[in-house]
């Protein structure tokens, strides 16, 4: 087969999209023996070194400034001469092409909860629903998101919807697997206390950072600090102003974006990981935390329960006092903490990028045969 793979986010793109593209593509290339894989990259990244190239991999560079336009207008013209059997796209499927089309739609929260998105974002995502009907297969990341896709009628009459879970990189591991000197360096660099709470992700309204900050003032432990890792993205609140309003400036560290190696060690150093999102398609950070040997407090929404199973302690994301109560439960009970750590490490083993890549290849083969 000739397989096209939209990887324009491989070097640059939104963090979650880049992570999925990079990890699945790496494993697909590693597992591949017989097929030709045409990796579609952004023209502006043509000077970057693609690390997974071999004689079965062909690199195609196209304009990727706006993903919607690139997928629907530019890619069909460029790809026509390569006579592909199938192509995987991110979010937006083209209409006119002869090969089978598989489109990754990570979530459609913009339809169910437009209040978490800016007007510009909602307008940009609007065509996704209508273009998805032209796809042969829609891939999404959880059963709960599959349900939402069906609810808002994204699939055409002949479109299959396939769930392929995200994976956890093996580099996320408990603290004992890191060099002590490296951990000490991270502590010193970010001025980390011995015991801290951690959040990793985008800093926007959907992630419910405001209620997480409110919960800090209600904790029984009035000294433990919260470390926030991530960038402002989309519709968000002014965290500096919020910290002033709540009077918790001295208990919150804003680290912004940090590199992957630092993030892996930071996860392992946390005492409790907190992820109280109002909506998620999947929710990878809690899984990365479980793999790192850290107990998690997460929202009781469907997708996070699907991913975390019995490894997490669940809270009502709309009640900051309940968030604080559940964090206190883990802080105050060493037995509960150890139990959740053990269960969490085993839970995370069920989610591997190798499994994701294998499932995607099965999906590709089924689509071509259909």
φ and ψ at 299, to 5 degrees?
Answer: -65, 150
Q: What is the pLDDT along the chain (370 residues), one digit of tens a residue?
A: 999 999 999 998 777 788 899 999 999 999 998 999 999 999 999 999 999 989 999 999 999 999 999 999 999 999 999 999 999 999 999 998 899 999 999 999 999 999 999 999 999 999 999 999 999 999 999 999 999 999 999 988 778 999 999 999 999 999 999 999 999 999 999 999 999 999 999 898 999 999 999 999 999 999 999 999 998 877 777 888 888 888 888 999 999 989 999 999 999 999 999 999 999 999 999 999 999 999 999 999 999 999 999 999 999 999 999 999 999 999 999 999 999 999 999 999 999 999 999 999 999 999 998 8
In this structure, is the dihedral angle defined by the CA atoms of residues 73, 74, 76 and 80, taken in order, positive or negative? positive
Which among 258, 250, 345, 350 is positioned nearest to 307, based on CA atoms? 350
Token pair recorded at residue 138: 């829609």
Phi, psi of 217, deg, nearest 5: -70, -15
Domain 175-348 sits in CATH at 3.40.50.2000
Enumerate the CATH 3.40.50.2000 domain ranges in the chain, comma separated: 2-167+352-369, 175-348
pLDDT for 158 equals 79
Nearest residue to 186 via CA among 260, 248, 240, 239: 260
- Residue 231 neighbours by CB distance under 10 Å: 12
Query: What pLDDT sits at residue 233?
Result: 77
Q: What is the CATH number of domain 2-167+352-369?
A: 3.40.50.2000
């Amino acid at each position: 087969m000739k397989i096209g793979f939209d990887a324009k986010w491989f070097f640059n793109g939104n963090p979650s999209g880049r992570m999925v593209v990079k990890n699945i593509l790496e494993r697909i290339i590693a597992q591949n023996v017989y097929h030709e894989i045409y990796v579609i990259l952004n023209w502006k990244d043509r000077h970057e070194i693609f690390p997974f190239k071999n004689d079965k991999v062909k690199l195609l560079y196209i304009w990727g400034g706006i993903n919607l336009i690139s997928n629907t207008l530019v890619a069909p013209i460029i790809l026509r001469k390569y006579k592909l059997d199938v192509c995987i796209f991110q979010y937006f499927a083209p209409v006119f092409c002869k090969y089978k089309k598989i489109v990754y739609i990570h979530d459609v929260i913009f339809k169910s909860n437009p209040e978490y998105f800016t007007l510009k974002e909602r307008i940009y995502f609007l065509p996704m629903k209508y273009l998805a009907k032209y796809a042969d297969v829609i891939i999404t990341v959880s059963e709960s998101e599959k349900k939402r896709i069906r609810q808002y009628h994204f699939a055409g009459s002949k479109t299959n919807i396939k769930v392929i879970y995200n994976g956890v990189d093996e580099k996320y591991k408990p603290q004992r697997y890191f060099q002590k000197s490296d951990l000490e360096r991270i502590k010193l660099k970010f001025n980390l206390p011995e015991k801290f709470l951690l959040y990793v992700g985008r800093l926007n309204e959907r992630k419910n950072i405001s209620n997480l900050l409110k919960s800090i003032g209600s904790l029984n432990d009035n000294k433990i600090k919260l470390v926030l890792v991530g960038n402002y993205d989309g519709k968000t609140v002014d965290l500096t102003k919020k910290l002033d309003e709540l009077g918790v400036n001295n208990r919150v560290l804003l680290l912004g974006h940090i590199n992957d190696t630092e993030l892996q060690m930071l996860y392992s150093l946390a005492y409790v990981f907190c992820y109280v999102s109002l909506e998620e398609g999947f929710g990878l950070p809690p899984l990365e935390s479980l793999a790192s040997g850290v107990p998690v407090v997460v929202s009781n929404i469907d997708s996070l329960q699907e991913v975390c199973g019995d490894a997490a302690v669940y809270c009502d994301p709309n009640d900051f006092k309940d968030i604080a109560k559940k964090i206190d439960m883990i802080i105050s009970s060493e037995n509960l903490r150890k139990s959740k750590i053990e269960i969490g490490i085993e839970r995370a083993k069920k989610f591997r990028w190798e499994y994701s890549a294998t499932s995607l290849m099965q999906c590709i083969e089924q689509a071509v045969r259909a």
